[in-house]
Amino acid sequence: MNGFDITIEEGIRTTYARRLFKPFAKAIVEYGLVKPNDKIAVCISGGKDSMLMAKLFQELKRHNKFPFELVFLVMDPGYSPANRENIERNAALLGIPVTIFGTDIFESVFHIEKSPCYLCARMRRGHLYHRARSLGCNKIALGHHYDDVIETILMGMLYGGQVQTMLPKVKSANFEGMELIRPMYYVREKDIIAWRDENGLRFLQCACKFTENSAADHSGSKRLQVKELIRTLKREDPQVEQNIFRSVENINLATVMAYKDKNGVKHRFDDEWD
């Protein structure tokens, strides 16, 4: 199929409305992610999460409760011709009018030995902000979902020695007036996978030169370990995922050893002991 498939869009309004659109809309309302007259760059990597996010934004726009604009932005960091074609084909199939721009990020980080994936992610973010702002956007939207959030919490604790999470919205430190939003904050990965598989869709996973050459992706392996840990814990306690999510909403500063304020100043529990 090369043309737009209306049945996929209709499924978001019917079969998957409760599991996909409802939590998407809930996050937008609860965290104030979309405001009147926003112009949002919906950033599409070619994976299942960002492609679905684009469809959910289209559905939100269809309701049109207040004016806002969307740009469906695809950054090509150096994809192979087959992977770029995959993105373009899926965009056409899903009826997403994408704007594609190229960069040489993959080539730039290919020979970096220390933390190439971290550097790649930072460079991608910078390019997306820059292009979005040049198009008149004041926000970029990324497709991180609920499972990404709870995995990040555990990864920070287990491998980073800190309590942190992905926030639903963040003000850019380097691009004044720009914000990053995560409207998939309450959407579960299992529901995204169900939507993808029911519609027979094939999206990109990681398409960089490192994975093409079977190089180790240490950040990915840690995330996979954490995914498996959560699955194991859930067998014993079905509430464990919700509890992990809520743990960063219920921090009591009086019971922690130390914390950093918004200026990065560290405060210990016994600073004013005497």
pLDDT digit string (tens) for 11-40? Answer: 999 999 999 999 999 999 999 999 999 999
159-209 pLDDT per residue, tens: 999 999 999 999 999 999 999 999 999 999 999 999 999 999 999 876 555
User: What pLDDT is attached to residue 68?
Assistant: 97
Read off the tokens for 144. Answer: 């991180």
Length of the chain: 274
At residue 2 the predicted structure's pLDDT band, cuts being 50, 70 and 90, is low
Task: Answer whether residue 134 is part of any domain.
Answer: yes
Cβ neighbour number for residue 126 with a 10 Å cutoff: 15
| 0.85 exceeded by pTM | yes
Asked if residue 161 lies in contact with residue 258, where contact means CB atoms within 8 angstroms, the answer is no
- For residue 179, give the 3-state DSSP assignment: strand
Residue 195 structural domain? 6-251
Scan for tokens 């995995």, then name that residue. Answer: 151
Mean pLDDT value of segment 212-232: 73
| Rg value, the chain, Cα | 20
At residue 86 the predicted structure's pLDDT band, cuts being 50, 70 and 90, is very high
Asked if residue 200 lies in contact with residue 51, where contact means CB atoms within 8 angstroms, the answer is no
Does position 105 have pLDDT exceeding 80, yes or no?
no
Number of domains in the chain: 1
Does position 94 have pLDDT exceeding 90, yes or no?
yes
Mean pLDDT value of segment 46-61: 97
User: What pLDDT is attached to residue 1?
Assistant: 45
Task: Answer whether residue 1 is part of any domain.
Answer: no
Across-strand partners of 44?
74
Task: Answer whether residue 161 is part of any domain.
Answer: yes
Does position 60 have pLDDT exceeding 50, yes or no?
yes
For the packed helices 6-13 and 189-198, what is the interaxial angle rounded to 10 degrees?
Answer: 140
Question: What CA–CA distance (Å, rounded) separates 125 from 195?
Answer: 27
Task: Answer whether residue 96 is part of any domain.
Answer: yes
Task: Answer whether residue 141 is part of any domain.
Answer: yes
Q: State whether the Cα torsion 180-151-20-86 is positive or negative.
A: positive
Task: Answer whether residue 131 is part of any domain.
Answer: yes
Does position 210 have pLDDT exceeding 90, yes or no?
no
Task: Answer whether residue 217 is part of any domain.
Answer: yes
Give the CATH number for residue 24.
Answer: 3.40.50.620
User: What pLDDT is attached to residue 207?
Assistant: 56
Task: Answer whether residue 148 is part of any domain.
Answer: yes
Does position 259 have pLDDT exceeding 50, yes or no?
yes
